[in-house]
Structure formats: structure tokens, C-alpha cells
A and B are shown apart, each in its own frame.
Chain A
Amino acid sequence: AQSVTQPDIHITVSEGASLELRCNYSYGATPYLFWYVQSPGQGLQLLLKYFSGDTLVQGIKGFEAEFKRSQSSFNLRKPSVHWSDAAEYFCAVGAGNTDKLIFGTGTRLQVFP
């Protein structure tokens, strides 16, 4: 069965700094990969998704993610973080052998001015 790991529970960055949030998955074939963001008191909003093709995926709010098959990773990046990016971020993986998406446990991002 597939699984997804977000190794960082909590990350703190300064406003304007670059950001990388890690996501590692376990699955034998190419999975379907998603990143979501959850602002305080809100539901999850889709940032971007990877199905196939170009391994660098652009999303909303200036985020991008890169699929690296050799590392089983799908890390989320942003070149310059804004205070409004403070939120919880979830990576999710889907695979053809199961009828659900598997979500990671999330990374909470804190942004200092």
C-alpha cells in the first residue's frame, strides 16, 4: 500500500526567505501527487497536482513542486515567503490500486516578519 511522509512537523522562516517543504511517498509505480494548504479555521485548498509529464509543477500563490522519482519525493517550494503563507501544508498521494488519497500528517509553517 502507498504511504506518504512529511518529515517536518513545524518549520519557521522569515518573511522573504525561500521555503522548501518535504514530502516522500512510497509506491511502486508513478503515483498521483497533490499539495494542499489549510489556513487557520479553514478547509484544505489545492495548491498543485502532479499526474505525469513535466516534473516541475506550478501552482497557485506562487508555489511550485518537483517530482523526483529517484528520491520518491515531491517537495513544495516558494522562492519568497509572505506572512500570509503561514498555514498547515499537506501532501497527498493517490494510486491506481486503492480508492482513496493518502494524506501526510502535515507541516505547520510559521512566518516571522
Chain B
Amino acid sequence: DVKVTQSSRYLVKRTGEKVFLECVQDMDHENMFWYRQDPGLGLRLIYFSYDVKMKEKGDIPEGYSVSREKKERFSLILESASTNQTSMYLCASSFGQIYNQPQHFGDGTRLSIL
């Protein structure tokens, strides 16, 4: 089974802090994704990566950046955290073509910005 592990289940940070969310997958998947999940809005794609050191903007990249130095690890960075970034963050991975392969999800990080 694919295992996608997010480093923290719950995280509390202060406004203006630089925040790092880490995600690791163990199935040698090429593609990795970061989503945020908010009630009534479903999943919104922040960034994705289809290879090491490659990144593509999703639908809501503002205020975020990502890093993929190794194939198994994909980090989401909040450059200067703000209260409107309080949310559930989900990491996912897949192989092959992004549009026709299922994505495998971690358990999420619930981030609160005070």
C-alpha cells in the first residue's frame, strides 16, 4: 500500500511566522500535490510537482511556495503566515499521467494561525 506521511497532524503558529509542512511518500511516485481543504470549498490545489526540482502552480498559490529536493519529499512553505491560511492541508502523490491516475493522500495537517 502507498504510504503518504505528513509530519504533523496539528500545528499552531503565529501570524508572520515562516511555516513548513512536510510530506513524504514511499512509493517512488513522480507526482506530488498540496491541497487545502475548507468547509464548503472542497479541495483546492495549491502547488504540484511532477519531478524533482520541478513545481507548478495550482489554483491558489499566493502566499505559498514549495520545495522538492528529493523524489519522496514535497514541502509546503508559508512564507509569512496569515490568519486566512488557517486550514486543513492535504498532501497527495500519484504516478504516471496526473489526469488519469488516482492520487494517494496523507492524513492531513490541521494548521491554525493565531
Contact = CB atoms under 8 A, between A and B. Distances in A.
Nearest to B43: A103
Nearest to A44: B105
Given A94-B98, A100-B58, A106 B42 contact: yes
Contact of A99 (B4, B56, B103): B56
Contacts of A95: 99
A46 interface: yes
Contacts of B102: 34, 46, 49
A32 B107 contact: no
Given A100-B99, A103-B42, A103-B43, A44 B90 contact: yes
Given A42-B108, A43-B105, A44-B90, A104 B42 contact: yes
A105 B98 contact: no
Contacts of A45: 105
Interface residues of B, number: 23
Interface size grouping (class) on chain A: 20 to 34
A101 interface: yes
B48 interface: yes
Nearest to A39: B107
A32 B100 contact: yes
A94 B99 CA distance: 4
Interface of B: 4, 9, 40-43, 45, 48, 50, 56, 58, 90, 92, 98-100, 102-108
